[in-house]
Amino acid sequence: MGRITNKNEYTEHYNLSMKDGDAYWGKIAEELHWFKKWDSVQSGNFDDLNLKWFEGSKTNMSYNCLDRHLEKNGDKVAVIYEDNDPSVKARTFTYKELHAEVCKMANVMKERGVKKGDRVCFYMSMVPELLIGVLACTRIGAIHSVVFGGFSANALSGRIQDSECSMLITNDGGYRGNKIIPLKDIADEALESCPSIENVLVVKRTDSDIKWKEGRDHWLGELMEKASTECEAEQLDAEDPLFILYTSGSTGKPKGLLHTTAGYMTYAYHTFRNVFQVEEDDIYWCTADIGWITGHTYITYGPLLNGSTTVMFEGVPTWPDAGRFWDICDKLKVTHFYTAPTAIRALEACDIEYVNKHSLSTLKVLGSVGEPINEEAWSWYNKNIGKEKCPIVDTWWQTETGGIMISPLAGITDLIPAHATLPLPGVEPLLVDSEGTPVEGNPAEGNLCMNRPWPGIARTIWGDHERYKQTYFSTYPGKYFTGDGARRDEKGNYRITGRVDDVMNISGHRIGTAEVEDALNEHPNVVESAVVGFPHNIKGQGIYAYVICQNAPENEEVLQKELNEIINKMIGPIAKPDKVQVTSGLPKTRSGKIMRRILRKIAANETDSLGDTSTLLNPEIVDTLMAGKK
Ligand code: WT7
């Protein structure tokens, strides 16, 4: 079947994938390398939830990302590494060089006792060893669990404990603009409560002063020097775990989504090439952090599976100034640029000169991911960055989906500002009403579900299959529920409207309201709290916290500072509330449930449309809340 190259082919691919999914995905997968072919393409369904793809096969992710290209493309650049410091020349790794580094790191892990099935945690900034390390895990069948370097010690230890990682890989410190994040110090603190960790490999990056635990801590660089550049790729089963990635939900602690080998690999491969349409000499840059799913699938696996050149950037968009992204685009001759709406809006708010002093003439395709992109930001991106000649792919997907699900194909299918448009092959979206009844016909609006399994779907939540069933498949039995609402236009194009559950999207980061509330409630003076998202110009959503205090705080600013510290400690700075309102009560139903709908409306200043509040246990609280609005 190959890559989709025109609109008719999109339709052909899509129709075949719906009519005979096994035939379709079998053909796609044949383009990858298999030590042994599969016995069956797909089995299991959304009732039994024992989903399997390419069962009976043997394959290896790192072999497909690296070895498969060596003969023809060994000297092609696989990764361009752009340092935080703009005066440092970008480093490149050819496929051959990357292969050697990955083998070395795999050998180091093996020598330190890591075996197939063991969990290895990465708590790093964007250093090359992160990308090399995850590939090294896949080479030996170890399961990587990358924890974003902005999370706190508490958040890190919770994730390490949950999946009982035996190794942690970190760096002494991480550069982010003009700041240094003390990663090793934070990791040390986390490890006080992580008995499963036997070895810590430390990358020297900032030369910061760090503590050292003999026997446990090792400099990765020293071990790498002695390691062999040959390491045979383990022949793994199709459903052998590939990685765990934690993400927030509407309730409880973060969930460790588990992705497995063959299906995820095939899906990453196929979605990358079709959505972005990267050609042989193109330079593709996704600005995400490898700590998120976007960085897994579309910095690392998707591009490398396709033999493309992928850019990895250590720094931030606004340092040394707001032109950094555009500077890099020109310097590295970037052709494909994939970022988040929050970054676009933040850069849009800066002087346009930061854009205009760069040519941006190499750009061919732009992408957006992480949250709905508003029309205004879409137009600015299109006009100022794409110069109205680059298609913008608005890619909708989730940590759980493994890869892009609904998106235009660059230069192939039609674009509509702020619309993710059409489902990719193999993806069968369905809109349902609150009862779960499918909303047929066009146009339509409803809750977005998926009606059939696709190869990249997460197979379970680590250690809690019941929670997996409960979270995604119980609201609408027999369907996967995304948690998002969407509209479908006359022609079947989807527009994602945002989460319909208690998950917030803050600058493209997914944060559960319950998680933030649990942290706020740790404050000795907080009796109860309720957290909602509210519209925010740059972040998309901001965090609005209502707190009930035991004793009226003497100084609300001090309280807010203390709450921020708790959030920093429990979760990380990304979850800090933008606004805190101290209140004497929260609107509750007669059964004692907080009416979040009302809190959201007040936070969003939409108090004209509060709806019926008379059924509340305490209707008078609504006026009080409105009067004290922050
Ligand atoms: C949630 C998933 C995998 C992408 C990175 C975030 C929102 C993501 C879009 C888009 C509208 C989007 C959804 C989704 N989202 N992309 N193009 N348009 N909304 O992954 O942290 O798992 O979050 O991000 O609400 O459910 P994530």
Record the tokens describing residue 235, joined without a space. 């022949």
Q: Which domains does the chain have, with CATH numbers?
A: 7-448 (3.40.50.12780), 503-627 (3.30.300.30)
* Pairwise CA distance, residues 46 & 131, whole Å: 33
Say yes or no: CB of residue 399 within 6 Å of ligand 1: yes
Nearest-CA residue for ligand 1 atom 6 is 370
163, 165, 190, 203 from 186: Cα distances, Å: 19, 17, 6, 15
Q: Is 333 exposed, middle or buried (0-12, 13-18, 19+ CB in 10 A)?
A: middle
pLDDT over 90 (residue 197): yes
DSSP for 120-135 reads EEEE--S-HHHHHHHH
Which of 396, 401, 405, 503 to mutate to test ligand 1, by most ligand atoms within 8 A of the CB atom?
Answer: 396
Binned at pLDDT 50, 70 and 90, residue 495 comes out as very high
Say yes or no: CB of residue 495 within 6 Å of ligand 1: no
At 364 the pLDDT is: 98
Check: CB of residue 601 under 8 Å from CB of residue 610: yes
* Pairwise CA distance, residues 591 & 594, whole Å: 9
Say yes or no: CB of residue 289 within 6 Å of ligand 1: no
Give the mean pLDDT of 287-309.
98
Check: CB of residue 439 under 8 Å from CB of residue 219: no
Record the tokens describing residue 594, joined without a space. 């907080």
452 CA to middle of ligand 1, Å? 19
Give this prediction's pTM. 0.97
Say yes or no: CB of residue 424 within 6 Å of ligand 1: no
Say yes or no: CB of residue 483 within 6 Å of ligand 1: yes
At 322 the pLDDT is: 97
* Pairwise CA distance, residues 597 & 595, whole Å: 5
Which of 290, 299, 421, 496 to mutate to test ligand 1, by most ligand atoms within 8 A of the CB atom?
Answer: 496
The distance in angstroms from the start CA to the end CA of the chain is 56
* Pairwise CA distance, residues 264 & 454, whole Å: 9
Say yes or no: CB of residue 394 within 6 Å of ligand 1: yes
Closest ligand 1 atom, CA of 395?
A: 17
pLDDT over 90 (residue 566): yes
pLDDT over 90 (residue 251): no
Nearest-CA residue for ligand 1 atom 1 is 398
Label the pairing between strands 77-82 and 199-203.
Answer: unpaired
* Pairwise CA distance, residues 26 & 428, whole Å: 18
240 CA to middle of ligand 1, Å? 26
Residue written as token pair 């409105």: 626
Binned at pLDDT 50, 70 and 90, residue 503 comes out as very high
Long-range contacts of 8-12 (CB under 8 A, 24+ apart): 10/409, 10/412, 10/413, 10/422, 10/425
Binned at pLDDT 50, 70 and 90, residue 610 comes out as confident
pLDDT over 90 (residue 608): no
H or E element in which residue 333 lies:
none
At 615 the pLDDT is: 86
Give the mean pLDDT of 445-457.
98
Q: Say which amino acid occupies 598.
A: I
Helix axes 95-111, 128-140, angle to 10 degrees: 70
* Pairwise CA distance, residues 313 & 80, whole Å: 8
Closest ligand 1 atom, CA of 368?
A: 17
Nearest-CA residue for ligand 1 atom 12 is 371
Nearest-CA residue for ligand 1 atom 21 is 510
Closest ligand 1 atom, CA of 420?
A: 17
Between 312 and 591, name the one with better pLDDT.
Answer: 312
The answer for 49, left when phi > 0, alpha when psi is -120 to 50, beta otherwise, is left
pLDDT over 90 (residue 420): yes
Average predicted confidence (pLDDT) for the chain: 97
Label the pairing between strands 283-286 and 336-339.
Answer: parallel
Say yes or no: CB of residue 369 within 6 Å of ligand 1: yes
Compute φ and ψ for 104, nearest 5 degrees: -60, -45
Closest ligand 1 atom, CA of 404?
A: 3
Residues 6 or more apart whose Cβ sits within 8 Å of residue 24:
1, 13, 16, 17, 425, 426
pLDDT over 90 (residue 77): yes
Residues 6 or more apart whose Cβ sits within 8 Å of residue 59:
32, 33, 34, 35, 36, 235, 236, 238, 261, 262, 265
* Least confident stretch, 48-52, 88-92, 185-189, 622-626: 622-626
pLDDT in tens, 573-586: 999 999 999 999 99
Q: Is 587 helix (H, G, I), strand (E, B) or coil?
A: coil
pLDDT in tens, 121-158: 999 999 999 999 999 999 999 999 999 999 999 999 99
Say yes or no: CB of residue 395 within 6 Å of ligand 1: yes
* Pairwise CA distance, residues 590 & 570, whole Å: 32
Say yes or no: CB of residue 407 within 6 Å of ligand 1: no
Nearest-CA residue for ligand 1 atom 11 is 372
pLDDT over 90 (residue 447): yes
* Pairwise CA distance, residues 395 & 365, whole Å: 13
532 CA to middle of ligand 1, Å? 18
Closest ligand 1 atom, CA of 288?
A: 5
Between 607 and 3, name the one with better pLDDT.
Answer: 3
Give the mean pLDDT of 275-301.
98
pLDDT over 90 (residue 611): no
Q: Say which amino acid occupies 381.
A: Y
pLDDT in tens, 517-536: 999 999 999 999 999 999 99
Say yes or no: CB of residue 505 within 6 Å of ligand 1: yes
Residues of 442-472 as b/e, b for ≥16 C-beta within 10 angstroms?
Answer: eebebbbbbbbbbbbbbbbbbeeeebbbebb
Q: Say which amino acid occupies 258.
A: L
3-state SS track over 468-506: HHHHHHCCCCCCEEEEEEEEECCCCCEEEEEECCCEEEE
pLDDT over 90 (residue 249): no
Give the mean pLDDT of 45-49.
98
Record the tokens describing residue 377, joined without a space. 């930001």
At 241 the pLDDT is: 98
At 276 the pLDDT is: 98
Say yes or no: CB of residue 397 within 6 Å of ligand 1: yes
pLDDT over 90 (residue 1): no
At 91 the pLDDT is: 98
242 CA to middle of ligand 1, Å? 21
Which of 401, 484, 500 to mutate to test ligand 1, by most ligand atoms within 8 A of the CB atom?
Answer: 484
Closest ligand 1 atom, CA of 400?
A: 22
228 CA to middle of ligand 1, Å? 40
* Pairwise CA distance, residues 323 & 191, whole Å: 38
pLDDT over 90 (residue 607): no
Of the chain, the percentage scoring pLDDT greater than 70 comes to: 100
540 CA to middle of ligand 1, Å? 12
